[in-house]
Chain A
C-alpha cells in the first residue's frame, strides 16, 4: 500500500473489522485501503463533491458534508474509530469538531501539519513571510488552513479537555521522529485519542 505516511500509520493501527468514520475523507484513499486490506467497514464525510463522486466511484459510502456542521447527525459511539486526517486546521471551529469526533468514535485518530516545525519557524523568523513549505504549499490568502496549530498547542488542548492520548506518531517527511523534540522536528503528527470516561 502506498498511502501517505500519516494515513499508513492510521491504517496500521485500525483493527480488522472495525467500524470507521473518515471525516474529510477526500477521494477515499484511506477508506479504500482500510476496506480492501483490513476488512474495515468504512464510511466517509467529505466537503468537495468531485471527491465524493470519486469515492462513490470506488464503491465507498461517502456523504457530502462539512465537518463543522454535519457531524451532529451521527449517533454517540456509532463508530469504533473516527478519523480526522489533515482536516482539523481547516475547520472553522476545530475544538468543536474534535469534541464531535470523540463523541461519535470510541477512539479518534487526528493528524495535522505542525506549524512549529523548524522550517516554518525559520521561514517566519528570517524571511518574515508566512511559510510556504512542502506540507503547507498554499500562500496566506489561498490556504484552506485557517487554524494553524502546533504539536504543543494540541497537547495543551487535549490536557484541558481531559482527552486521553493512546498513541502519538511524529513524522518528518516519511521518517518517524521522536516525541520529545517533535514540536521542533516533526512536520506532522498523528494522535490516537479517547474521551476520558466521566466519573
Chain B
C-alpha cells in the first residue's frame, strides 16, 4: 500500500532515475549489475494500482514520451497520443515510459560506467535482447509498486516489447497494443541494420567502441541513420515530399553536393541524430532488434507464446509500412487466433510508411482510445 500521495512520491514524475541493485540475468548469459533505469511517469497511480500503463519506445526513442527532450527541446515523441484527454489519457492512466536497456538517455548502456573498470563499458557491455529490456522494465515496475499493467503499448520496437511483455509476463499484462511492429526481424530488417552497424564500425573514430574520451563516430552514425530513415518512409511519401526537386539551386552541380532535396534532408536527419544518440547504443539496440524472434523463444511456434493467455490484444499496421508490413502483424494475429486470444487487428491507410504511427492519424486515435476504453 502506498502511504505517500503519488504526487509527493519521489519515484513518480518526469526525469526520474533509479539504480536497481540487480543483478539482471540476460538472455546472452551475462549478469548485469547495477541496472540503471531512466524513466518518466504521468498521471497518478490509483490506490489499487489498476490504472498503470507502460508505453514502450522505438529504437531511437526515449522516456520523454510526452515531455520536452532535454537535448533537442522538441516535444515528446508521442505527445499527440499521450496526455490529458488524449487517447492514452493521463487523467485516467498512470503512464510509465522508461528508456530501454542499452540506450543512452540515462538507462544502463554501453556509454554507462562499468563499475569494475570505472570507465565506459563500450563494447564490453553485454549484448541485450528485447526480452532483457522487458525484464528490466519489470524490475522498474516492482520498484514503482505496480503489479499488473492495465495495458502495455508500443509502436515499432515498442510494439515488440509490448508483445514480449505479453509473452513473458502474461499475468502482469491485461491488454497489449502493438502498432506497426512484428514478432520477428526479417532478413531484410537485419540487412538494413547491418548496413548501419558497418557504417558506424567503418568510421575511424569508432575505435572498437572505445571513443568516449575523443570524437565519436558521428559520420558513421549519420550514415546509419540515413539508411534507416529511408526504411521509415514510403516511396510515395518521399516522392510527394521531395520528388526530384533540387536543393536551393537551379541546376545540377555536376558534383557531389546535396543537389537533391532528398539528399539534403537525409544528411540533415543523419547529422541531427548524432547530436542526441550514442553510436554504440545504436549498435546494441539494432542487435537486440535483429535477435528478436518471439516464436524462436517458444519452440518455433508463435502460437505457443500466447497459449491460454487472458491478455486482450490489439494490433495495428499501416498499408505503406514496408519495414514491418501488414503480413507481419497478420502472422501474430493468426498465432493469437490459434490460441483463442481476444484479439483485434486493423490495417490503417496512410501515405507515410512506418513513421505513420508517430504522425497525426484520427483512425489510429480512434482505435487506440477504443481499445483502451478511453473513448467510451
B-binding residues in A (CB < 8 A): 41, 43, 49-50, 52-65, 73-75, 78
Contacts and interface: CB of A to CB of B under 8 A. Distances in A.
Given A49-B347, A53-B346, A54-B366, 4 more contacts: A56-B371, A57-B376, A73-B334, A75-B338
B346 A49 contact: yes
Contacts of A41: 342
A74 B370 contact: no
Contact of B370 (A43, A59, A78): A59
B337 A74 contact: yes
A70 to B, nearest CB: 8
B22 to A, nearest CB: 38
A106 B348 CA distance: 33
A64 B343 contact: no
A63 B324 CA distance: 18
Nearest to A51: B346
B340 A75 contact: yes
Contact of A73 (B338, B342, B344, B349): B338
Contacts of A61: 312, 342-344
Interface residues of chain B: helix, strand, loop or mixed (majority)? mixed
B342 A49 contact: no
Interface in B18-35: none
Nearest to B335: A73
A75 B341 CA distance: 12
A53 B343 contact: no
B346 A56 contact: yes
Contacts of B130: none
Interface of B: 312, 314, 333-334, 337-338, 340, 342-349, 363, 366-367, 369-371, 373, 375-376
A60 B375 CA distance: 13
A63 B187 CA distance: 27
B337 A63 contact: yes
Nearest to B363: A53
A3 to B, nearest CB: 20
Contact of B340 (A50, A52, A78): A78
B366 A60 contact: no
Contacts, number: 66
A49 B363 contact: yes
A79 to B, nearest CB: 9
- For B340, B349, B369, the residue with the greatest tally of chain A CB atoms inside 10 Å of its CB is B340
A62 B333 CA distance: 11
A63 B344 contact: yes
Given A73-B334, A74-B337, A63 B343 contact: yes
28 contacts: A41-B342, A49-B349, A49-B363, A52-B346, A53-B348, A53-B363, A53-B370, A54-B366, A56-B344, A56-B366, A56-B367, A56-B371, A57-B366, A57-B375, A58-B370, A58-B376, A59-B373, A60-B344, A61-B312, A61-B343, A61-B344, A63-B337, A63-B343, A65-B333, A73-B337, A74-B337, A75-B338, A78-B340
Contacts of A52: 344-346
B64 to A, nearest CB: 28
Nearest to B314: A56
Contacts of A63: 333, 337, 343-345
A174 to B, nearest CB: 29
Contacts of A43: 342-343
Nearest to A41: B342
Contacts of B345: 52, 62-65
Contact of B366 (A53, A64, A78): A53
Contacts of A75: 337-338, 340
B43 to A, nearest CB: 21
A165 B312 CA distance: 34
Contacts of B367: 53, 56-57
- For A50, A56, A65, the residue with the greatest tally of chain B CB atoms inside 10 Å of its CB is A56
A75 B335 CA distance: 11
A41 B340 CA distance: 11
Contacts of A64: 345-347
Nearest to B349: A49
A55 B375 CA distance: 12
A52 B314 CA distance: 11
Nearest to A50: B363
Contacts of A54: 366
Given A73-B337, A74-B337, A49 B348 contact: yes
- For B334, B345, B346, B376, the residue with the greatest tally of chain A CB atoms inside 10 Å of its CB is B346
A77 to B, nearest CB: 11
Contacts of A59: 370-371, 373, 376
A11 B349 CA distance: 33
Contacts of B347: 49, 64
Nearest to B362: A53
Contacts of B371: 56, 59
Contacts of B333: 63, 65, 73
Contacts of A73: 333-334, 337-338
B367 to A, nearest CB: 5
A95 B312 CA distance: 32
A59 B175 CA distance: 12
Contacts of A62: 344-346
